[in-house]
Amino acid sequence: MKNESCILPVVYPPINGYPHKGALFSMLMAREECKPWVFNNFIQVYTLKDLCNKGVRTGTVDFFYNLYGDWTHFYLKSNPWIKFSSMPYDFLKLIKTDIIDFIKTCINKNLYLFFDIDMYYISAYKMHYNKTHFLHEIFIYGYDDDKKIFYMGDNTTGKYTLDQVTYDEIITSTNVILDLYRDDNEDAELYKYKEKAIYMMCVTKNVERNWQDPSFSKDIFEVNIKKIINDLKEYLLLDNYAEGYRYSNYYVFGIDCYNELMKFVRSAIENGQHVDRRAFYSFIEHKKLMLLRMEFLNDKYNDKYDLNQLIERYSNLVNEFNIILSSVLKANMIKDNDLWEKINVKLKECKEEDIVLMNEFIRILSQSEIL
Cα angle value 282/284/288 (rounded, 5°): 115
Question: What is the three-state SS of 265-297?
Answer: HHHHHHHCCCCCHHHHHHHHHHHHHHHHHHHHH
- Please give the chain's pLDDT, 371 residues, in tens: 455 999 999 999 999 988 888 999 999 999 999 999 999 999 999 988 888 887 777 878 888 655 555 566 777 777 889 999 999 887 887 777 789 999 999 999 999 999 999 999 999 999 999 999 888 899 999 999 999 999 999 999 888 999 999 999 999 999 988 887 766 555 555 455 456 789 999 999 877 655 567 777 788 899 999 999 999 999 999 988 888 787 788 889 999 999 999 999 999 999 988 999 989 999 999 999 999 999 999 999 988 889 999 999 999 999 999 999 999 999 999 999 999 999 999 999 999 999 999 999 999 999 876 65
**Amino acid (one-letter) located at 271:** N
**In angstroms, rounded to a whole number, what is the distance separating the alpha carbons of residues 34 and 80?**
10
| 25 phi/psi in degrees, rounded to 5 | -75, -25
pTM of the model: 0.90
Map residue 48 onto helix, strand or coil: strand
Q: Are 161 and 123 in contact (CB under 8 A)?
A: no
Map residue 22 onto helix, strand or coil: helix
Q: Are 314 and 290 in contact (CB under 8 A)?
A: yes
Which CATH number describes the domain made up of 215-366?
1.20.120
Expressed in percent and rounded to 5, the helix, strand and coil fractions of the chain are: 50, 15, 35
Distance of CA 81 to the CA centre of its chain: 15
Q: Where are the domains of the chain?
A: 5-30+82-203, 215-366
**In angstroms, rounded to a whole number, what is the distance separating the alpha carbons of residues 281 and 262?**
14
Q: Which helix (H) or strand (E) holds 193?
A: none
